[in-house]
């Protein structure tokens, strides 16, 4: 009997040990990686809940961006993630609305490459809670699908290696010494100053990650075998910059309204930011060659916008011809941008009532500093909808490409009589 009791005791002990080993690991939250931003407030290991705040420094822009990693996940278990946006402050100390940091659906990934949306979250005051059942031991959560400096580097490198007519180049080094990757789509070895030039850039405001995904959709379409893309490349060189404010993207800061001003308030006689200075120099050269016909700046708007829309030239910078060309371009884009995100008919402008530095906004500088036929315009793609994900953004980018190609079927440099 003694042996039997000893055996039972050992069996019970072994079952206890096995059960202990099989218990859930501790959840560990980290944001120590490029683009990461999270102040961990609480992790409840029993309830499997996580509470964080955005951790951006208001001196470097609105602290609405958040992005963090969770390890120790048991695949298939339900995690509850809550973001507390009650403490958001601007650089001047004024409160920033929590709505900027609380999308209806957050982004999550188990490999940092493929990003999905959560189910709609549950908002309680200035907090929002999302529940997710990731099928992996590690998962990343973010305000929206991240697009960080390595993504920009890999995109321009991949396209330049795959396509003979794509050349990777460095727009500049930032004030912090980071490289700003860019590319140009142009026939190899051909220097034809009669060719049109199109300039597309994204992320003057670092937190607006959707702009980079729209840009990726555009540039991947532009180098594709689509007949309209082929026709566009036959007549136009395409310059593309995936991320302008790469320093704040890398450090997980918002960029918008940073001190003393953000990239999109810097297009002046003495620009502070190196990327803006380099872009202005290139755009001036293209305009002097009478090649520049379009400048496109890609952004995300406010949380209540549910459709993409264009910011157009204010009356102070318009002429009859400029308005006619702008209207023609928007008309073809409206025909292309229908699903899943339909282009809004609203076309606000960025004039004196919009911002005291309105003349230093990129598209307004382009309208002031280049020829009358050059379209300078900003596309705002909504981030707070069920289609504000990588596929939705990239589809908008492809549709934008179709709009540009259709608009440039005729050379806008020619006067109406010449046409």
CATH number at residue 77: 2.60.40.3120
Do 195 and 132 lie in a common domain?
no
pLDDT above 70: residue 10: no
Do 246 and 154 lie in a common domain?
yes
Considering 93, 124, 142, which residue would you say is the last residue of a domain? Answer: 142
Do 348 and 396 lie in a common domain?
yes
Beta bridge partners of 271: none
Q: Please name the residues in contact with 313: beta carbons below 8 A apart, sequence gap of 6 or more.
A: 322, 323, 326, 349, 363, 364, 367, 376, 377
Three-class secondary structure of residue 297 per DSSP: strand
Mean per-residue pLDDT for 40-55? 98
CA 140 – CA 106 distance, rounded (Å): 11
Give the model's pLDDT for residue 192.
75
Q: How far is CA 242 from CA 46, 158, 182, in A?
A: 42, 13, 7
Do 127 and 180 lie in a common domain?
no
Give the model's pLDDT for residue 15.
47
For 45-189, strand residue ranges (E) read: 49-53, 67-71, 79-84, 107-109, 116-117, 122-124, 127-132, 138-142, 166-173, 179-185
Do 301 and 225 lie in a common domain?
yes
pLDDT digits (tens, 9 = 90+) for 190-213: 667 789 999 999 999 999 999 999
Average pLDDT, the chain: 94
pLDDT above 60: residue 415: yes
Confidence of residue 231 (pLDDT cuts 50, 70, 90): very high
Confidence of residue 18 (pLDDT cuts 50, 70, 90): very low
Give the model's pLDDT for residue 417.
57
Give the model's pLDDT for residue 190.
64
- To the query of whether residue 380 is one of the catalytic residues in this protein, the response is yes
Three-class secondary structure of residue 140 per DSSP: strand
pLDDT above 90: residue 47: yes
Do 153 and 138 lie in a common domain?
no
Give the model's pLDDT for residue 193.
79
Do 45 and 167 lie in a common domain?
no
Mean per-residue pLDDT for 182-188? 93
CA 122 – CA 225 distance, rounded (Å): 44
Question: Domain residues for 308?
Answer: 149-407
Do 133 and 168 lie in a common domain?
no
Question: Rounded to the nearest 10 degrees, how much is the dihedral formed by the CA atoms of 55, 256, 109, 112?
Answer: -100
Q: What CATH number did the domain enclosing 373 receive?
A: 3.40.630.10
pTM for the model stands at 0.93
Q: How far is CA 272 from CA 99, 261, 262, 363, 419, in A?
A: 30, 9, 9, 17, 41
CA 208 – CA 62 distance, rounded (Å): 11
> What tokens were used for 166?
């794509």
pLDDT digits (tens, 9 = 90+) for 114-156: 999 999 999 999 999 999 999 999 999 999 999 999 999 999 9
13 occurs within a structural domain: no
Contact by Cβ (8 Å): 401, 229: yes
Three-class secondary structure of residue 164 per DSSP: coil
pLDDT above 50: residue 330: yes
Give the model's pLDDT for residue 414.
87
Mean per-residue pLDDT for 33-39? 98
pLDDT above 80: residue 9: no
pLDDT digits (tens, 9 = 90+) for 236-269: 999 999 999 999 999 999 999 999 999 999 999 9
Mean per-residue pLDDT for 45-49? 97
Confidence of residue 16 (pLDDT cuts 50, 70, 90): very low
Q: Please name the residues in contact with 347: beta carbons below 8 A apart, sequence gap of 6 or more.
A: 309, 310, 311, 312, 330
φ, ψ at 124 (rounded to 5°): -135, 100
17 occurs within a structural domain: no
Do 38 and 113 lie in a common domain?
yes
Do 136 and 70 lie in a common domain?
yes
- Number of compact structural domains in the chain: 2
Query: Could you tell me whether strands 138-142 and 107-109 are parallel, antiparallel, or unpaired per DSSP bridges?
Result: antiparallel
Contact by Cβ (8 Å): 403, 336: yes
Confidence of residue 17 (pLDDT cuts 50, 70, 90): very low
49 occurs within a structural domain: yes
Give the model's pLDDT for residue 210.
98
Please pick, among 104, 208, 336, 380, the residue that the annotation labels catalytic. Answer: 380
Do 102 and 232 lie in a common domain?
no
Query: Could you tell me whether strands 127-132 and 79-84 are parallel, antiparallel, or unpaired per DSSP bridges?
Result: antiparallel
Considering 102, 127, 142, which residue would you say is the last residue of a domain? Answer: 142
Do 203 and 81 lie in a common domain?
no
23 occurs within a structural domain: no
284 occurs within a structural domain: yes
Mean per-residue pLDDT for 85-102? 97
Considering 93, 120, 142, which residue would you say is the last residue of a domain? Answer: 142
CA 371 – CA 374 distance, rounded (Å): 6
């Amino acid at each position: 009997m003694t042996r039997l009791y000893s055996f039972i005791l050992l069996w019970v002990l072994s079952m206890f040990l096995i059960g202990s080993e099989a218990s859930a690991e501790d959840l560990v939250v980290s944001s120590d990686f490029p683009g990461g931003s999270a102040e961990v407030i609480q992790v409840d290991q029993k309830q499997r809940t996580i509470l964080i705040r955005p951790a951006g420094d208001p001196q470097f822009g609105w602290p609405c961006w958040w992005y963090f990693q969770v390890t120790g996940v048991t695949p298939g278990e339900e995690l509850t993630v809550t973001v507390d946006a009650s403490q958001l402050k601007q650089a001047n100390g004024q409160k920033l609305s929590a709505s900027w940091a609380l999308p209806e659906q957050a982004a999550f990934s188990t490999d940092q490459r493929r990003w999905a949306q959560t189910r709609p979250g549950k908002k309680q005051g200035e907090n929002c809670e999302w529940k997710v059942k990731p099928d992996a031991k590690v998962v990343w959560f973010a305000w929206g699908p991240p697009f960080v400096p390595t993504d920009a580097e890999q995109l321009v490198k991949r396209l330049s290696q795959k396509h003979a007519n794509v050349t990777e180049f460095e727009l500049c080094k930032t004030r912090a010494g980071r490289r700003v990757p860019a590319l140009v789509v142009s026939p190899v070895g051909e220097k034809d100053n009669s060719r049109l030039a199109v300039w597309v850039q994204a992320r003057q405001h670092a937190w607006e990650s959707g702009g980079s995904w729209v840009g990726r959709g555009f540039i991947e379409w532009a180098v594709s075998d689509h007949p309209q893309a082929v026709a566009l490349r036959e007549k136009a060189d395409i310059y593309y910059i995936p991320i302008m404010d790469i320093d704040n993207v890398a450090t997980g800061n918002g960029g918008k309204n940073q001190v003393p001003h953000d990239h999109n308030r810097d297009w002046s006689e003495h620009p502070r930011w190196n990327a803006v200075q380099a872009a202005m120099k290139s755009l001036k050269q293209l305009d002097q060659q009478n090649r520049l016909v379009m400048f496109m700046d890609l952004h995300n708007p406010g949380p209540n916008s549910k459709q993409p829309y264009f910011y157009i030239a204010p009356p102070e910078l318009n002429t009859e011809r400029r308005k006619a060309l702008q209207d023609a371009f928007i008309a073809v884009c409206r025909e292309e941008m229908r699903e899943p995100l339909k282009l809004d008919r609203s076309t606000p402008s960025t004039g004196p009532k919009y911002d005291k530095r309105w003349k230093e906004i990129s598209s307004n500088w382009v309208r002031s500093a280049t020829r009358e036929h050059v379209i300078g315009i900003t596309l705002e793609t909504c981030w707070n909808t069920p289609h504000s994900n990588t596929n939705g953004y990239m589809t908008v980018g492809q549709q934008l490409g179709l709009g540009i190609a259709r608009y440039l079927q005729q050379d806008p440099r020619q006067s109406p009589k010449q046409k």
